[in-house]
Amino acid sequence: MITKLIGKLNSTVKDPGLESKTPEGYDIIGDVHGYAGELTKLLKQLGYKEINGVYIHDKRKAVFVGDFTCRGPETRRTIAIIRKMVENQTGYAVIGNHELNVIGHFTKNDEGKTFKPATGSNKKIMDLIKQEYLYEKDLLKNDLKWIRRLPFFLDFGAFKVTHAYWSNQNKRIIDEKLQNKKLTKKLLQKIFDHDSPFAEAVRQTTRGIEINLPHDLIIKDDRNIRRTNFRIRWWQNPKDKTFKEISYGNKFTLPSYTVPPEILFPFEVYPKKEVPVFVGHYCMSSDRMIPSDNVCCVDNCVANSGLLASYRWQNGEPLKITNFVFQEKKG
């Protein structure tokens, strides 16, 4: 039945990794963070039906912007839902920074050591994930190998999807390394060593553009922790703008005076003439999820006090808040 429904889909996408037949519309779903219950409710709310264990819509497909792991109570089940959709061509997914955290913690290098063991609160998150796979360790390894084959970018022609920052230059760097469509252990070592153009491209793609604060500017968040860097609006040139003007997705207040040019560095600004790009990562309130005519953040922060969000994309329509669908966190 799934094959029959997929056969009805009907337009063309750019990436060779995407099949040639596509649906009438897409549902771009924000950071799920292990909230599988909310995800299944959202999918049903969007009109998807579970058929033979796979969620499917006869006219639309889901696109997951990464960070579907960690924080919530059901990372394993969330991965299973998304994996089945991707493998049955009813959905797509990209890698986020939290997927890299999970890969780094649970994947061992050739010397038998984990690439990047988690510490502090992240270690507690990884321990909970380990418990979810307690009696199926082989399944954890298998799921991690599947995640390592996911792309960092998806280009549908009329719109694009990545986790935190779209850069054509970074895409070229990453695509050149991922010629076999997999994050090999050699490439993982490069990522976690942080000392190569490839590692920097992956970091920016999954974490956005972050700028170090001046040493004499003391900024603390609501937990009274000093912050040393901040995320910026990578679709704007930051030159001659204030900290507040270029800030995006920061949970602390930045000053309204001009950013010193010496702390800025070159990066590829996403052009205004480009097609819309969808990202997650930034944990935004609903009134700030469309910060530009061609940039849309679908992360409404379900892992904290927000909701699981989805944007219903229709070709030819401008980005608008009324296209969002939200699913509240249970309990």
**Predicted local distance difference test score (pLDDT) of residue 22:** 64
User: Which DSSP string do the residues of 6-37 spell out, in sequence order?
Assistant: HTT--B--S-TTS-S-B-SEEEEE---TT-HH
**Predicted local distance difference test score (pLDDT) of residue 21:** 58
**Predicted local distance difference test score (pLDDT) of residue 331:** 54
**Predicted local distance difference test score (pLDDT) of residue 223:** 82
Nearest-CA neighbor of 233 among 216, 225, 245, 251?
Answer: 245
- Report the distance separating Cα 309 and Cα 21, nearest Å: 26
Range(s) of the chain covered by CATH 3.60.21.10: 2-209+268-327
- Report the distance separating Cα 282 and Cα 160, nearest Å: 17
**Predicted local distance difference test score (pLDDT) of residue 236:** 97
**Predicted local distance difference test score (pLDDT) of residue 220:** 87
How, if at all, do strands 295-297 and 308-314 pair? unpaired
Sites in the chain below the pLDDT cut of 50: 1-20
Whole-structure pTM value? 0.92
- Report the distance separating Cα 211 and Cα 317, nearest Å: 33
Task: Give the H/E segment covering residue 85.
Answer: helix 75-87
Work out the angle at residue 89's Cα, subtended by the Cα atoms of residues 84 and 92, and round it to the nearest 5 degrees.
80
**Predicted local distance difference test score (pLDDT) of residue 330:** 66
SS3 119: coil
Q: Which CATH code is given to the segment(s) 2-209+268-327?
A: 3.60.21.10
**Predicted local distance difference test score (pLDDT) of residue 314:** 87
What share of the chain in percent tops pLDDT 70? 92
**Predicted local distance difference test score (pLDDT) of residue 222:** 81
**Predicted local distance difference test score (pLDDT) of residue 179:** 78
